[in-house]
Chain A
């Protein structure tokens, strides 16, 4: 399959990329790792006249600690996330989630920035970024702005990112030491998107849930933050009856589409199963 013709641009800086976007307008499309965009172009479902490849911008790569946050450059690959000792010790759920995305070859090139900015509800990182309460940094011609992950997703491929903006970095607050976590993903085979998946980060104190965040992947037209479920769990010892109520509350906010992964009702139930498993595992990992 051969994509339509386009002009190729490889800016060396974010400023240059923003300038190109401003000049090219709707004819310009950003290329990150390309493993969503290039297949779409091969099917001619996308026919951008200009591709702006962010692969040559060194500033967009890397993982660094900044106070109590970790800042990840948008062009940092899933492979880099998995290999990072800093992330393994501070935000291990990021490595766990990356390792469940696609396959090794795709993870060598697929980027965190591309995964979160594309607005595909089947991607794994958007729900995780909501769970971790991450902030996205975007650069446009009027300067830089920060957008909370929890307010970023609006619907299918619709995000708060405006045309002309480049997502440059992801800032993630480091969860408290001793936190429990899990990303549980049901998929038909390696490389498949989730039938349903659940991300959980929680802390325990005196055997009770002290803080908790839950987000769900691919069971609506956007990732979901399960706030009601979280409220039910806080203060509980994660006993079976409370977990059951919280899972029911999480299932209630889903509205999955029927697709080859199963009917809507099945995918809602699987979201509940994933959440139940994620809560159990997070509890077993939490100290306190």
Chain B
């Protein structure tokens, strides 16, 4: 089968490549480009570990063909940190609030939460839980992931994060 020429912006850099139409975006990113932040968890569009931001939408890159992303603007976990190299508020939040244990789901969680906070600057706990319902974590029980996202939202809004009383 003929390969297709694709061009897309990934983390601010333009990438041009030849891909087989059947190549899924996650394999294109990981195997062809060496962008291994997005993980392959279930490979069946359930777990969300492969989540990337594509033209302002959170998508599971195991269920999108790379050819469909021709012309797209993509952000992966590698492109989340601030331009000066300091941690993004979400990355800082995950560290401060212990939002990860094994870390496997974290790139997908942060990339998804990044879009959630773009759309809703001050989400309630319920909105956060609903917003990350396409991302599975098998370690944390989600409690600290929710806190990490609340921490980031507070920081981005210029206020100090106050943990709710237990």
Instruction: Name the CB-closest residue of A to B63.
Output: A38
Given contact pairs A3-B22, A5-B1, A105-B59, A38 touches B46 in the complex (Cβ within 8 A): no
- The total of chain B residues at the interface (CB under 8 A) is 30
B57 touches A79 (CB 8 A): yes
Q: Is the CB of A8 within 8 A of B51?
A: no
**Residue A42 at the chain B interface, CB threshold 8 Å:** yes
Contacts of A1 in B (CB 8 A): 43-44
- Residues B60 and A8 in contact, CB atoms below 8 Å apart: no
**A39 in contact with B44 (CB, 8 Å):** yes
Within 8 A of A (CB), among B37-53: 43-46, 48, 51
Q: How many residue pairs bridge A and B at CB < 8 Å?
A: 81
Contact between chains at A191 and B4 (CB < 8 Å): no
For A189, the closest partner residue in chain B by CB is B133
The bracket for how many chain A residues form the interface is 20 to 34
Is A108 in contact with B63, judged by CB distance below 8 angstroms?
Answer: no
Tell me the complex Cα distance, A38–B43, Å. 11
Residue of chain A at shortest CB distance from B44: A39
Which residues of chain B come closer than 8 Å to A55, judged between CB atoms? 68
State in angstroms the CA–CA spacing of A3 and B48 once bound together. Answer: 20
Closest to B23 in A: A2
Which A4-50 residues have C-beta < 8 A from chain B?
4-8, 10, 34-35, 38-39, 41-42
Q: In the complex, what's the smallest C-beta–C-beta distance from A53 to chain B, in angstroms? A: 6
Known: A39-B44, A190-B133. A8 touches B59 (CB 8 A): no
Using Cβ atoms and an 8 Å threshold, which residues of chain A touch B132? 104
A85 at the interface (CB under 8 A from B): no
User: Is A109 in contact with chain B by the CB < 8 A criterion?
Assistant: yes
A109 touches B57 (CB 8 A): yes
**A66 near B: Cβ within 8 Å?**
no
Q: Is the CB of B45 within 8 A of A51?
A: no
What 9 pairs between A and B have smallest CB-CB spacing?
A: A103-B134, A8-B21, A108-B57, A190-B133, A5-B1, A105-B134, A3-B22, A105-B60, A105-B58
Can you name 13 A-B pairs with beta carbons within 8 Å?
Answer: A2-B27, A3-B22, A3-B24, A5-B22, A7-B2, A38-B64, A103-B134, A104-B58, A104-B132, A105-B59, A105-B134, A108-B58, A191-B46
User: Given A51-B21, A108-B57, list of 12 further CB < 8 A pairs?
Assistant: A1-B43, A6-B1, A8-B67, A10-B67, A38-B65, A39-B44, A42-B44, A103-B134, A104-B58, A104-B112, A104-B116, A105-B58
